Copies of this chain bind each other. A is one copy, B any other.
């Protein structure tokens, strides 16, 4: 049944992990990027050159909101936005040189925050943690 123990334990994990993520996010916010901006930048870094549409396949975000974030990042010269020759409805996004520098900063912040999670674990524990995470990712990899 829906209110089974299993569901409750998953919810307990979700509450727990929501806090884990919230703590990590606190640190990333020190970068002067909003969470949404940071996530968009991370995805552009990973997927570049990519369209806004492509980003929306990966993170849940309103189309108009994303459009404005992209506009802002272009205005600040952290990304470039060039109309695709192949399909003129889309614009290809890439980090600019300055964006690459920003990402190094952001990346270092996120790495440090994440490292804080595991610094007290032994090598074995860390390995186990990772395996568990990857296992969960495989089990839930649904792409809702």
Q: How many residues from A make CB contacts under 8 Å with B?
A: 56
Q: Is the CB of A15 within 8 A of B3?
A: no
Write the chain B residue with the least CB distance to A107.
Answer: B3
Flag the segment in A63-71, A74-82, A91-99, A129-137 that touches B: A129-137
In the complex, the count of this chain's copies comes to: 2
Does A50 sit at the interface, judged by CB under 8 A?
no
Q: Is the CB of A111 within 8 A of B3?
A: yes
Known contacts A3-B108, A111-B2; decide if A129 and B139 are in contact (CB<8 Å).
yes
Q: Which residues of B contact A2 (CB under 8 A)?
A: 108, 111-112, 115
Q: Which residues of B contact A14 (CB under 8 A)?
A: 20-21, 24, 114
**Which of B6, B22, B108, B144 is in CB contact (< 8 Å) with A19?**
B144
